[in-house]
Structure 1
Amino acid sequence: MATTQTPDALLVKNYMAGDENALAILIKRHQSKIYGFIYSKIADREIADDVFQDTFVKVIKTLKSQSYNEEGKFLPWVMRIAHNLIVDHFRKGKKMPMLRETEEFSIFTILTDNSPTIEGQLITEQIEGDLIKIIEELPDDQKEVLMMRIYQDLSFKEISDLTGVSINTALGRMRYAILNMRKVIEKNQIILTN
């Protein structure tokens, strides 16, 4: 039975022999170091999550194909995979397509942690601040519908009754508000992900 004290090389061997839990231990053991490395290079939470996930998809594929031969050097090997994926990301100059995880294994089922971090809260506050600035730029009729729909959680029927316009007009204003916000976001290259 693998434990948190089992050496990396043995856990790798166990995983290759069919012990799925061995990989979970390896990921938990090294996740902060690997994720920290990725995030330090990319500094975008969503892209860093994608790269982290892709790193382990590649690790799994390599181990399952029995072509791993870095005996005892698991962490440096994983770091090299992560580094190569980061380089690929910057080479493409855009968000990398994510290799979808298989149904048998999802990295984030092992790493679920729903507690908000201070950093996460600060990023959320920053995003909300940016959004409010963008909303302020909208024409009044669009801003009104958007605020009612998102911040007051009103239905389009309620918005229609309150503003004295048809439901279609309210829907149209919401649509234009979103299109205008998208234009501002793209023009200023604002990243609204955390």
Structure 2
Amino acid sequence: MNPYSDLTDQELIRLYIAGNNPAFTALVYRHKNRIFTTIVLLVRDRSLAEDIFQEVFIKIVNALQSGHYVDNSRFLAWAVRIAHNACISHFRKANQRQSTIVTYNDDLGDYMEVTEHSQEYRMIRAEVTEEINRMLDRLPGLQREALILRYYADLSYKEMAQTIGISINTALGRVRYALMNLRKQAGVENLVSV
């Protein structure tokens, strides 16, 4: 059993700052899937996402060690903001766009599945995932970004607005229009949910 599993993010951060490195490891494992998924969806390239993911955690370590983290009980939102900014910085430098490839498996998905599913289930899920990726790619960039931050990074609308630098109403609107566009696409293409 992990001795750190019952501790809050803030308790883990305090332990890490006090010199307990395994506490930081526990914090990383707690949030790595959600942060990595967010980066993959934003940059649309898994190998690039791995590089940015490492860069993000280096920035997090530096910020924690230098006292730049404010204990606001929302470590994940803070970390996702750092990840978002790292992705934006990459695009400013590279000024390129690549195709999204996302697979939902144990090392990328948000949750590990306890039971094994039939081959048919896995094939259907892979097809649905591929179709969702195509639908996400057809969304306008700002709507796509808002949807990723809201549902994959699990940010509140307020946190999303702060991360992107927009008003809460704009964040709400972008997510609303993104969902409307996805529903339109799903209706046209008769996508069946699994």
> TM-score band, normalised by the shorter chain?
0.3 to 0.5
TM-score after normalising by structure 1: 0.47
Give the number of the structure whose alpha-carbon radius of gyration is greater: 1
Task: Point out which structure has higher relative CO (alpha carbons under 8 A, 6+ apart).
Answer: 2
